[in-house]
Structure 1
């Protein structure tokens, strides 16, 4: 097992290591799956009382050595495409719009729901691609299916109010069929505009189990949102060399959350030297979602 251990920080162990015993594994929402392959690289620094982590990122290792064709096709050991048996390309009709989306896993009575929202130039297929981003989307698909959950990707019209209403209506549709499921929304890049709107959506915010921001932006209105008041966990994954949304700006916003609510369940993982797309490739779905499931 590849993990980070610091005897002075048991919290780091919880974040960066897979569960070491069957007792711990059964307590997790998501059981281990390829944890050794997707473990974070070396920890470089820790700050903000164990909430901010800087980890080592090297493109030669984390792209070139991981991919058979760099950035286009990951090596086979990182994926299991058998999960496609549980995948459907669908069209939902809601009171807002007809919404093309893709679902993997249990569409009724799911234990949890994860929704991925793409950034500029993307579509619903991005978050279902088994081979790109180091196989990380294939991992969340497998984690959902193997643990009785549901993973959704969806198209939407824009990153503003109209798109947020469409996504909210899709979430409401599926949440009605899985009333006991918490909803975790992950937003890549510009998709964060929808994440922040959903944080104050009267229908969605009460169902949120967490927000995951991958190389995304910030919104000060979150600090007065329904999700903030409910202490919905927030994860930030960001490249240290992000040219689109500079990491320093996102770190400043992260720390503004802690300033307003010092014990707020927020975490930040900075992938040192990583670019705009690095967090989608490198963020640990299992560790993050398991933390969110118990953080509140």
Structure 2
């Protein structure tokens, strides 16, 4: 799971600020213009913003039209983007979700998105990130414009070198200078074969939830282990999707260790409530594995 300029906690944290970027990097053949970006987005920057850093994080660069919004975990709005062209890399679908403040873009307008996968089973849907301080709008005349002020909707050229401030010029630079990456493979949304689900999990247990510390769409929970069917459950600060849990609820849980973190094995069938219509099938199976 990616943890760079945007963390799980920062998905819901907004605060008015002005961020000043000094973006000249002698290693880049293409140089970002200096922008005093004005917005209400709280960005957490761990490194200087350059074209190289953007491409290092991105698995795909696409031309896409903003066609609507959807809610992640029923709470956090994400943009629905209809892809018109892949400049770099590939995506699984022609329409993708991009987590980005709605104030930064306009509905039915076309942008160049630098898509970084954010792949966590805590969220119902796989989605992408686009750096909030590099919003590139595509004009009808093939010109590229970078958002400067989200409130006034003012723009300026994104690159110092004029020849790259068109879609044609940007595409040529990427094709000639950026090495391709292998396609990104998201974690499974669901594993219907219960034996495979158990094999893919490092921990399988039945728990009751004693306390919920709600952090918006994601919660940290305290729990009591009722029974363990695989591994040992001693996970502190267990993160679970808020809309799928309740105080004193009882659940079968499938967990997998990913990059040092304990996460649900799949998005949709790794947290099974006693009220779930398939609970009997799951509890019968895991009890039979002991």
Fold in common (TM above 0.5): no
> Which is richer in helix?
1
| Structure-2-length-normalised TM-score | 0.26
| Structure-1-length-normalised TM-score | 0.26
| Rg comparison, structure with higher value | 2
